[in-house]
Every structure is written in C-alpha cells, then in structure tokens.
C-alpha cells in the first residue's frame, strides 16, 4: 500500500493544534498504519456512517480526546525517527480497517473494488498495461478524443501513458470543459472535492467544495503536468464523423477552417450538460436588456442596483441567486419545481490550516479521509432512494427509508424558513427525495430567499416582455436583466455532432429522443466509437462523476488493447448484448426515486424514459466496466 506525504517537521504544539481538527475515524485508521496497534479498531470507539449524522461518526468526545493524545505521541515518535517508510499492512487487516470506517462488515464482493479505491495493490488500479503490445502497433493507432474537459483530459493521459497516438479536439479556447464554461457568480463543485478529483492526482483543495476557478485551475494544471497539451487542438469543433473503410473520418472546424482527421477510433468526452437550453416561453427574445443563460454568463454587466429575474431553481440558479442578491436591487426567482436541499454545514468552509497539515503530513490519513467521503456521500446513500414495492406510495416517497429522508430534509426547510409559512410551502417538494438532483447547502439559499430584495415566485411566466415578464395571473415583474437557469439539452447526447456509422445512419437519428448504449460506452453499428459520460452513466446522489469517468476510460483502454494487440481493425458491440443490458437499465431506473412517474427532469426524455442515469451501485459499474468481454463484440 503506497502513500506519499510530506516529512513531519512541526513541533508538538503545532501537531497538537492540527490534531484538534482531525477527522477522528480517518485518524484512527492512519494510527493503525503508524503504530501497528490493531486494538485501535477493535475497541469500543467505532464510527457509524449516518446520513447527515455526526461528521465524527458518533465517536464520543472522551474517545476523541484519547485518540488525539495517542496520535500526538505516535506522530512525535514518527517525526523523531525521521519519518521512515511504513510497512504495508496485510490484506485482512486492510479489510478490517475498511469495515471499521464504514461501520459494518461489508460483503466480500466489495473487496477488490474498495481496495482499488484505496490503491492497496497498485498506485493506479485504473491503468490498463500496454507494455506487452509492440510499440509500433500502438504508435500507428490513432485516436481522436472529442472534448478536453474532465473526461477528455483523463482519456488523453491514459492514451499517452499507453503510447497510443491521439489528438484531442475542443470547441473552447482552453481545457476544463464545464469548469471553463460555467462562470456564473457562486459556481462551485457540489460533490466533496476530495472525491471530485482524479484518483491518481490528489490535490490540496482550499475548500471542501471549491469554487469554479479552483476546479478550472486543477484541470488546467493536470493537462500541463501530464504533458498532453501538445496534442490538444483548441477552438476546434467536431462537425461530423463518418465510418468508412474501417476508419473514422472526423471533420473538424477550427481557426484555420475545415480539416479532416482520419482515425482508428473516437472517444467522445463531451459531457451531458454543455448545450444550454432556453425555456419555451412566449416572447423569448423580445426582452430589450441583457438576457443570458447561467452557462453563458455575461460578466460585463454590472449587477449593482439592477432588477434581475432568474428563471429556474436547479443547481445553477441555486448557486447564483444568493450571490447576485448581494449586489442587485431586486432578484425575482421563478420556480417551477422546488429542489430537495440536503444540509451541508461545511459547504462554503475553507479547509483550515490544521486540516491541510493532517492531509499533507499524516501517513495514510488523506487516503482514509477520501475513502470516508467516497462512502458516506456515495454507496452508503443508495438504499434511501430505492423503491420498496410494498410501500404505500403517494408520490411523495418510495420507501420507508426515503420517507424518513423526506422528513429529515423537510425538518431542515422548516428550521430555515418555518417562520414564513408561504415560503415554507413553496420550498417543500411534492416528489420523493432524489427524484431530481438533490442540492447541498449550508443555509445560503434559504437565507437568500428570506432577504428583503429577493422574492420566490411560483406563479408561472405567461410571456416575456421587452422590459420584464408577465405571469399567468397577470402580474408584471419589471427587469433590467434576465437570467436563464433553465438547464441543458441533456437528452440530446453528442449534439450537435453528426456521427454516421457502418450503415451510414446518423447516430442521433437512430436514437431519436432515446439515446442508448452498452455500459454507456458503445453503440451497435458504430464500431470503435466510445463514449465517456454517455447514456445512463449519470448519478443523482451517490458519488462523484469522476469515478464513473475513470471506470469508463479503463474499459475503453481495455477495448483499444483488444483491437491493437490482436491486429483487429474493428470492434462492434452486439445488438443482443446491448438490448439485454438496456432492459436491465430501464427496469433498474423504474425502481429508483428519479424514475418516479410524478417527476420530470433532465434525467428523462420526452417519453418519460430515464436516458441519463445509472440505477445501480458504484460497485456494479466498477465491476461491469472492469475489462471488456470479447464475446460482447463482433470483430473484423
């Protein structure tokens, strides 16, 4: 088990001060590495990982004090010994430490998966080895990667490490994808940063949920550090790709006009949320002042003293309203459906000096902390959003656990705005928790809604006027600026590229409103075309989308190895394999909160089918995408 951390030079007082801020469950496991004392995880101080529970896992104050004192002693001794390399613990002990920190004995099937997250066997368990494939075969194989956001950068790094030739094309002027495009005030990551980062590139995050510029800086730096920049063509958009003579002919448009790249394979890494959607409201376009989408923020407008109308209360509007309300004269927020909001006290908190010190210096502490976040914000949540067929459904919850979640979240809304019954009524959703994306907040949103200059309006907009909006009840709201927080054309996956497969049929025409893929990655009839973040690979509550990308890219690299190492020109997913898989996905999604009939969201297409989400556990995605099964494909 590997770990890299800085040498300890701090004196006892500084160590003690840092330990006061420790996450004790992570510290206990780190102490087992440091001291070899297994009694630490076999005693009475045991964490429980409870939703919205105590961040210290319920470990008593007394036990916490004892652990911190023990840690001070151990860290001082480790420092005085010159910070020697620590021996790898036996596998059985690592499993015991995993069970300890998650608070229960996990099924054996979790073994390899969790060990891989912790990197027990390997520094990069998501890496597919290519050393056994002749170098010239790898060099002669050309891949086009579409998109230089989180998934595209990841794909490029893996291709470079494998020695495969590649070109990345991105429509934007720099790398970073969604973090390059979304610059609205208040934009920040809403998954914990210690899991929203590549497993092979941990970062010293300034905040638990860092701001957009920090995320952009991370991806920008990674592109430089891993040496992929020379292979990226920026400000260049893929117009179409045609599969002819067992090659992809990729037509691109850039600063120097049009050009065609011929490649053996394509990896699309364009995300699901990059084509802004404007609302279908009469009079759209008639507004005389600045009117723009959150993802196309026009920062040149001074918001001070302005009357601003915001349409939508999804994740983007939710983050921007509290910020713009601090400078605007008035903000009127039009809400069609309220979001469920999960309390997250540290949402805006900086990571303190003490926490930074622990993450950077205490051997294995950062690994266990990431693991704790991975578990408590990921796999551990899924059971609360799954339908119980025996539950008496009223449209408001789908199981007893989901109903308890509803009660917990409603109590939070009551704490925040319960003194204003009208506002409270507007803020409690009528659909089950996790029917739509659940948002996280430390009270910022609700405090904004209570400001004198903010109004939450549920009266629908009838039309947009040159100087404001008119509601269905006939009320006029004057505005200087109109902000569309109205989401993206998510179901139009790969839009607006045209991709013509083996039989010349364009992919989105074949899909219609119903994009489907096998494992979210491959489509029959479109050989050697691989998607990152394709159909049914989005998650609603459980985990970080970077985890999914790492699984997808490992699978794609496995596919490329099957092609290159065996001298095959083409691999085409079998239709029957694809269809059987999609049947399971559809049945699975009907069982989840987001599949509920009374929910409409960007997860569903116009026919109500969930086209975006993965309905099962993270473990299942990890297992199914671990390596391609050659029998799933026809080769040529």
Could you tell me the smallest distance in angstroms from the CB atom of residue 488 to ligand NAP?
6
- Binding string to ligand NAP for residues 556 to 595, with x set by CB under 6 A, is what? ----------------------------------------
279 counts as binding ligand NAP under rule CB under 6 A: yes
Which of 126, 110, 108 minimizes the C-alpha distance to 625? Answer: 126
- Binding string to ligand NAP for residues 428 to 447, with x set by CB under 6 A, is what? ---------x----------
**Tokens standing for residue 306:** 């302005």
Q: Which is nearer to ligand NAP, 260 or 442 (CB)?
A: 442
Helix (H) or strand (E) holding 348: none
**Tokens standing for residue 59:** 């470990």
Q: Using CB under 6 A, pick the residue from 28, 311, 499, 610 that binds ligand NAP.
A: 311
Q: Which is nearer to ligand NAP, 248 or 347 (CB)?
A: 347
The region of 333-341, 472-480, 516-524, 575-583 touching ligand NAP under the rule CB under 6 A is 333-341
Decide the pairing of beta strands 330-334 and 498-500: unpaired
211 counts as binding ligand NAP under rule CB under 6 A: no
Q: Which is nearer to ligand NAP, 192 or 524 (CB)?
A: 192
Q: Which is nearer to ligand NAP, 88 or 470 (CB)?
A: 470
Q: Which is nearer to ligand NAP, 130 or 533 (CB)?
A: 533
Could you tell me the smallest distance in angstroms from the CB atom of residue 344 to ligand NAP?
12
Q: Using CB under 6 A, pick the residue from 315, 333, 497, 529 that binds ligand NAP.
A: 315
Dihedral of alpha carbons 514, 519, 524, 527, sign? positive
- Calpha distance 313→363 (Å, rounded): 42
- Calpha distance 72→356 (Å, rounded): 16
Residue 496: cis peptide before it, omega within 30 degrees of 0: yes
Cα 87 to chain centroid distance, Å, stands at 34
**Tokens standing for residue 284:** 């759209």
Is residue 564 a contact partner of residue 138, using CB atoms and an 8 Å limit?
yes
Q: Which is nearer to ligand NAP, 316 or 542 (CB)?
A: 316
- Binding string to ligand NAP for residues 146 to 185, with x set by CB under 6 A, is what? ----------------------------------------
Q: Which is nearer to ligand NAP, 177 or 485 (CB)?
A: 485
**Tokens standing for residue 556:** 């794609």
Residues 465-494 that bind ligand NAP (CB under 6 A): 485-487
Could you tell me the smallest distance in angstroms from the CB atom of residue 20 to ligand NAP?
30
The region of 244-252, 257-265, 314-322, 626-634 touching ligand NAP under the rule CB under 6 A is 314-322
- Calpha distance 367→582 (Å, rounded): 35
Could you tell me the smallest distance in angstroms from the CB atom of residue 173 to ligand NAP?
21
E-assigned strand segments in 296-452 = 307-311, 330-334, 341-343, 439-441
Q: Which is nearer to ligand NAP, 189 or 456 (CB)?
A: 189
Q: Which is nearer to ligand NAP, 311 or 519 (CB)?
A: 311
Decide the pairing of beta strands 461-465 and 237-244: unpaired
Could you tell me the smallest distance in angstroms from the CB atom of residue 291 to ligand NAP?
14
Q: Using CB under 6 A, pick the residue from 35, 235, 260, 337 that binds ligand NAP.
A: 337
Sequence-distant (≥ 6) Cβ neighbours of residue 555 within 8 angstroms = 519, 521, 625, 626, 627, 628
User: What single DSSP character describes residue 29?
Assistant: H
> Residue written as tokens 């993270």?
618
Instruction: List, edge to edge, every strand of the sheet that includes 454-457.
Output: 291-293, 481-484, 307-311, 330-334, 454-457
- The values of phi and psi at residue 202, to 5°, are -60, 155
Q: Using CB under 6 A, pick the residue from 241, 273, 434, 553 that binds ligand NAP.
A: 273
Secondary structure (3-state) at 85: coil
> Residue written as tokens 């120097």?
256
Q: Which is nearer to ligand NAP, 32 or 321 (CB)?
A: 321
The region of 118-126, 143-151, 158-166, 330-338 touching ligand NAP under the rule CB under 6 A is 330-338
CB atoms within 10 A of CB 571: 22
544 counts as binding ligand NAP under rule CB under 6 A: no
Could you tell me the smallest distance in angstroms from the CB atom of residue 69 to ligand NAP?
39
Size of the site for ligand NAP (CB under 6 A): 24
192 counts as binding ligand NAP under rule CB under 6 A: no
The region of 30-38, 73-81, 186-194, 517-525 touching ligand NAP under the rule CB under 6 A is 186-194
**Tokens standing for residue 91:** 């596998």
Q: Which is nearer to ligand NAP, 38 or 284 (CB)?
A: 284
Helix (H) or strand (E) holding 126: none
**Tokens standing for residue 259:** 């050009």
Q: Which is nearer to ligand NAP, 116 or 611 (CB)?
A: 611
Could you tell me the smallest distance in angstroms from the CB atom of residue 480 to ligand NAP?
20
Q: Which is nearer to ligand NAP, 113 or 334 (CB)?
A: 334
Dihedral of alpha carbons 273, 275, 279, 285, sign? positive
**Tokens standing for residue 458:** 């549920």
> Residue written as tokens 């780190």?
30
Q: Which is nearer to ligand NAP, 313 or 572 (CB)?
A: 313
Q: Which is nearer to ligand NAP, 434 or 522 (CB)?
A: 434
- Calpha distance 17→589 (Å, rounded): 47
190 counts as binding ligand NAP under rule CB under 6 A: yes
Could you tell me the smallest distance in angstroms from the CB atom of residue 289 to ligand NAP?
19
Is residue 524 a contact partner of residue 315, using CB atoms and an 8 Å limit?
no
Secondary structure (3-state) at 471: strand
Q: Using CB under 6 A, pick the residue from 314, 380, 543, 595 that binds ligand NAP.
A: 314
Decide the pairing of beta strands 571-573 and 633-635: antiparallel
Sequence-distant (≥ 6) Cβ neighbours of residue 587 within 8 angstroms = none
- Binding string to ligand NAP for residues 592 to 621, with x set by CB under 6 A, is what? ----------x-------------------
- Calpha distance 553→199 (Å, rounded): 13
Cα 43 to chain centroid distance, Å, stands at 36
Could you tell me the smallest distance in angstroms from the CB atom of residue 461 to ligand NAP?
6
Binding stretches for ligand NAP (CB under 6 A): 188-190, 273, 279, 281, 294, 311-317, 319, 334, 336-337, 437, 461, 485-487, 602
């Amino acid at each position: 088990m590997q770990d890299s951390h800085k040498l300890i030079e701090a004196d006892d007082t500084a160590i003690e001060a840092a330990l006061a801020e420790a996450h004790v469950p992570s510290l206990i496991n780190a102490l087992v590495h440091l001291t070899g004392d297994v009694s630490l995880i076999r005693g009475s101080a045991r964490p429980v990982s409870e939703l919205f529970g105590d961040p210290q896992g319920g470990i008593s104050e007394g036990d916490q004090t004892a652990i911190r004192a023990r840690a001070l002693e151990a860290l001082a001794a480790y420092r005085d010994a010159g910070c020697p390399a620590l021996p790898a613990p036996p596998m059985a002990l690592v499993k015991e430490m995993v069970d300890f920190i998650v608070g229960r004995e996990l099924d054996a099937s979790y073994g390899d998966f969790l060990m891989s997250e912790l990197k027990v066997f390997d520094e990069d368990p998501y890496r597919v080895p290519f050393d056994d494939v002749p170098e010239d075969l790898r060099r002669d194989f050309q891949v086009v990667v579409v998109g230089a956001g989180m998934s595209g950068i990841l794909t490029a790094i893996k291709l470079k490490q494998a020695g495969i030739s590649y070109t990345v094309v991105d429509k934007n002027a720099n790398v970073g994808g969604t973090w390059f495009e979304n610059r609205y005030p208040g934009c920040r990551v809403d998954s914990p940063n210690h899991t929203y980062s590549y497993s092979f590139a941990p970062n010293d995050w300034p905040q638990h949920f860092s701001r957009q510029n920090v995320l952009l800086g991370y991806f920008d730096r990674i592109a430089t550090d891993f040496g992929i920049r020379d292979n990226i063509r920026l400000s260049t958009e893929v117009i179409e790709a045609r599969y002819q003579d067992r090659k992809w002919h990729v037509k691109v448009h850039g600063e120097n006009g049009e050009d065609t790249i011929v490649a053996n394979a394509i990896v699309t890494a364009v995300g699901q949320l990059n084509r802004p959607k404007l609302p279908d409201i009469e009079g759209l376009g008639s507004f005389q002042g600045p009117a723009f989408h959150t993802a196309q923020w026009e920062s040149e407008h001074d918001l001070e003293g302005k009357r601003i109308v915001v349409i939508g209360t999804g994740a983007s509007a939710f983050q921007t309203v509290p910020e713009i309300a601090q400078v605007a004269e008035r903000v009127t927020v039009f809400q069609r459906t309220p979001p469920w909001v999960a309390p997250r006290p540290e949402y805006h908190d900086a990571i303190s000096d003490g926490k930074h010190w622990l993450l950077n210096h205490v051997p294995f502490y950062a690994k266990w902390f990431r693991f704790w976040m991975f578990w408590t914000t990921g796999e551990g949540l899924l059971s609360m959003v799954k339908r119980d067929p025996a539950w008496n459904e009223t449209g408001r919850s789908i199981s007893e656990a989901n109903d308890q979640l509803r009660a917990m979240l409603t109590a939070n809304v009551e704490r925040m705005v319960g003194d204003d019954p009208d506002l409270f009524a507007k803020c409690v959703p009528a659909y089950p928790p996790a029917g739509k994306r659940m948002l996280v907040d430390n009270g910022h949103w609700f405090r904004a809604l209570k400001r004198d200059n903010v109004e939450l309006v549920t009266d629908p907009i009838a039309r947009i006027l040159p100087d404001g909006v008119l509601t269905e009840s006939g009320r006029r709201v004057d505005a200087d600026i109109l902000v569309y927080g109205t989401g993206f054309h998510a179901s139009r996956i790969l839009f607006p590229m045209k991709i013509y497969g083996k039989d010349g049929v364009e992919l989105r025409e074949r899909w219609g409103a119903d994009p489907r893929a096998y494992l979210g990655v491959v489509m029959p009839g479109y050989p050697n075309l691989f998607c990152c973040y394709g159909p049914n690979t989005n998650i609603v509550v459980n985990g970080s989308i970077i985890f999914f990308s790492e699984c997808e890219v490992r699978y794609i690299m496995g596919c490329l190895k099957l092609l290159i190492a065996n001298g095959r020109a083409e691999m085409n997913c079998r239709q029957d394999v694809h269809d059987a898989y999609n049947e399971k996905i559809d049945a699975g999604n009907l069982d989840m909160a987001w599949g509920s009939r009374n929910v409409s969201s960007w997860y569903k297409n116009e026919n109500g089918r969930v086209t975006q989400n993965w309905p099962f556990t993270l473990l299942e995605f990890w297992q199914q995408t671990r390596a391609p099964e050659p029998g799933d494909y026809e080769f040529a």
